[in-house]
Structure 1
Amino acid sequence: MDNFKITAIGLMSGTSLDGLDVCCATFSKTDGRWRFAIDAARGYDYPDDLKYRLGTGAQQMSAHEFVAFHSEYGKFLGERVADFMKEYGIRPDIVASHGHTIFHEPGKRIMFQIGDGAAIAAEARVPVVSDFRRLDIMLGGQGAPLVPIGDRLLFADYDFCLNIGGFSNISYECDGERQAFDISPVNYVLNHYCRQRGLEFDRDGLIARSGAVDAELLASLDALPFYSQTGAKSLGREWVEKEIFPMIDSRGLEFADLLSTFTEHAARQVARVVRRVGKPHPTMLITGGGALNVYLVERIRELAGCEVKIPSRQIIEFKEALIFAFLGALYMAGEASCLSSVTGAACDNIGGMLFKI
């Protein structure tokens, strides 16, 4: 569809549990090219109780409690959308909600993002599209990542688009197809150990910078079989809790050394991908909360040999919410949002379920 224009709000809640990101943007397509302008963006903190339930509490709920929480969290999202629209005087054509991932086991065709789209629509009184991943899962795909379609169509000037949140994921063009996958856990692990010590996160990576890398733990982390897999692959909380936390905890490291070692591991895995792809003089756009981790970015730049671009603070913090808004635009335009070359699904597909008042 050409000569198309739409205003969309994207909602993103990541595994690092930093809070809810909301971004409103206007998208237009002319002469086959998509363009965007951000109209407004902001974050909303999660109350401690909600943060706990989204983090680990939901997995322990009964079926009845879980369904009730699905509606409750959807209502919470709808209230934030209503607040956002009032604050900025915006009335979007569509709201696109990622929800919050509770279960991610694509090999079993299990994927669930909590946050009922119907509850969002009822509370905010605007059309909502949600549940973007389920169709891809049923088509044999990973249901993730979804951001690469936005990287391809909105950020095509960079060889690599790296997002660093709870997990790092990367996308790039290879032989005319978009390739993308999760690389490793990052903030999900770093923030987990920071919270154990009463910190939200390691600002600028200063604690990690002060520590020493533990060679034995680093070698064990780097040797995990996931990193040798090729093709479509994705990570979730379950894998981290089974593979990463026990490995780290068994070493009994000092806090700074733990953060330093895992930061080095995360940077090495990014560099491993970049070197394998082998693009000459590569450029890399880094977004997500990890782009603000100065030490981590330094290690990536040095190990990967990339020209690294850190965009505006707004793009750093809200790129995923922006791209979810874009997924809403693609849904309304009737264009694919899930790329089979990325997810491993049987075919490209238009994920999502529409709730319209």
Structure 2
Amino acid sequence: MKVQAIGLMSGTSLDGLDICFAAFEKKESWNFQILKAETLPYSQNWEKKLRSSIHLSSEELLELHSEYGFYLGRKVREFIDHNHLENIDLIASHGHTVFHQPKKKFTLQIGDGRAIKIETGLPVIYDFRSQDVLMGGNGAPLVPIGDELLFSAYDACLNLGGFSNISLKQDQKRIAFDIVPVNIVLNRLANKFNKNFDENGDLARKGSIDQDLLKRLNSLDFYYQPHPKSLGIEWCNETIFPLLEGIKTEDAIATFTEHVAQQISNIVNLYCLRNILCTGGGSYNTCLIEKIREKTEFTVIIPERQIIDYKEALIFAFMGVLRIKNEINVLSSATGSTGDHSSGILA
């Protein structure tokens, strides 16, 4: 039986809202087809609201949670109407992460799914991470269920988004973990040149690598912790950005790009991976990709643009489908929770 779902994804790098409408069908295994997808850039006002949400009072944050939910609902309704979409079974929304502190048993993705339902009249699955955190997991990464069931032809799946994470098979189990911040840092540095991101890594190519800074970055405790593990903006604010202060911006970009390439290469070489599907906005950073290829012997596969840009939104749509069927959509081997489970609140 074919199920058609819309997945919504807003990443920590605030590139915009990804909307993916896809069809899923299970025969011997799951198959998918992306029917329509687009990214809606945030207005300056919305980008500012979401970027500063971590500093809001409790009341202001609750207000934004509702307001952003209605915003998501309106954007989905416009997406449906503009593309004349029909036979939509559900919407699955990741929301926008404000806080992520699994060790303290909480994570928060704003964008109330009930508001999305009110705007669209469709069933909505939302809040995919909280249950896993309450079960002792990291609440991340969640996409490995899609890697396991939709992209199993590859040795590993590497996402280069706000943060980079990897998903791979080890001892017949799917493991996954965050590796290193990527665009959450590089985009902020690029903003100093009035650019949204470092296009093709051109800024990184102009800078010089600061070996002392590189050494300090590579020595951070997180990189030596065992998986499962995950990163959040709080960690960057506490550990990464202070290290970059006082460094010439183009040198900071060059050094951090090298840092990202080294950390990713360390993991790839450790697991002796042969072919890796690389997705996320960082896949377009040719300087970063070249550096990763130089440091490893594996094949980096850059897929078609739709997969690069919408793989996460696609997988959240898929997670919604699994949740409706009450099937496992979160793997404990990836998140570290006490067991596999079916997560997400139904509105």
**1:120 maps to amino acid:** I
Q: 1:349 corresponds to which residue?
A: 341
Aligned equivalent of 2:50, options 54, 59, 81: 54
2:277 match: secondary structure:
strand
> Are 2:74 and 1:82 aligned?
no
Q: Is the 8 A contact 1:213 1:260 kept in 2?
A: yes
Per-residue Cα deviation, 1:78-100 (whole angstroms, up to 9, x for no partner) = 00110111111113101000000
Q: Is the 8 A contact 1:162 1:170 kept in 2?
A: yes
Per the TM alignment, residue 107 of structure 1 is displaced from its structure 2 partner at its CA by 0.1
User: Aligned-residue CA RMSD in angstroms?
Assistant: 0.9
Per-residue Cα deviation, 1:269-300 (whole angstroms, up to 9, x for no partner) = 11111111124xx1011100000101111111
Q: 2:279 corresponds to which residue?
A: 287
Instruction: Describe how 1:1-357 pairs up with structure 2 within 5 A.
Output: 4-31=1-28, 33-55=29-51, 57-91=52-86, 92-249=88-245, 252-279=246-273, 282-355=274-347
Per the TM alignment, residue 51 of structure 1 is displaced from its structure 2 partner at its CA by 0.8
- The number of residue pairs the alignment matches comes to 346
**2:71 maps to amino acid:** F
Per-residue Cα deviation, 1:211-234 (whole angstroms, up to 9, x for no partner) = 221111111101101000112100
Per the TM alignment, residue 28 of structure 1 is displaced from its structure 2 partner at its CA by 0.4
TM-score, L = length of structure 1: 0.95
Q: Which runs of 5+ in 1 are unaligned?
A: none
Distance in 1 separating the partners of 2:331 and 2:17: 25
Per the TM alignment, residue 68 of structure 1 is displaced from its structure 2 partner at its CA by 1.1
Distance in 1 separating the partners of 2:236 and 2:61: 23
Distance in 1 separating the partners of 2:183 and 2:54: 20
Distance in 2 separating the partners of 1:352 and 1:87: 28
Per the TM alignment, residue 115 of structure 1 is displaced from its structure 2 partner at its CA by 0.1
Moved more, 252-261 or 318-327: 252-261
Per the TM alignment, residue 62 of structure 1 is displaced from its structure 2 partner at its CA by 2.1
2:313 match: secondary structure:
helix
Per the TM alignment, residue 193 of structure 1 is displaced from its structure 2 partner at its CA by 1.1
Q: Is the 8 A contact 1:270 1:304 kept in 2?
A: no
Distance in 1 separating the partners of 2:275 and 2:164: 17
Calculate percent identity across the aligned residue pairs.
49
Q: Which runs of 5+ in 2 are unaligned?
A: none
1:69 match: secondary structure:
helix
**2:346 maps to amino acid:** L
TM-score, L = length of structure 2: 0.98
Distance in 1 separating the partners of 2:184 and 2:124: 28
1:205 match: secondary structure:
helix
Per the TM alignment, residue 60 of structure 1 is displaced from its structure 2 partner at its CA by 2.3
Q: Is the 8 A contact 1:148 1:171 kept in 2?
A: yes
Distance in 1 separating the partners of 2:247 and 2:98: 30
1:231 match: secondary structure:
coil
**1:201 maps to amino acid:** F
**1:93 maps to amino acid:** D
Q: Which runs of 4+ in 1 moved over 4 A?
A: none
Q: Is the 8 A contact 1:166 1:186 kept in 2?
A: yes
Distance in 1 separating the partners of 2:128 and 2:289: 30
1:199 match: secondary structure:
coil
Per the TM alignment, residue 236 of structure 1 is displaced from its structure 2 partner at its CA by 0.1
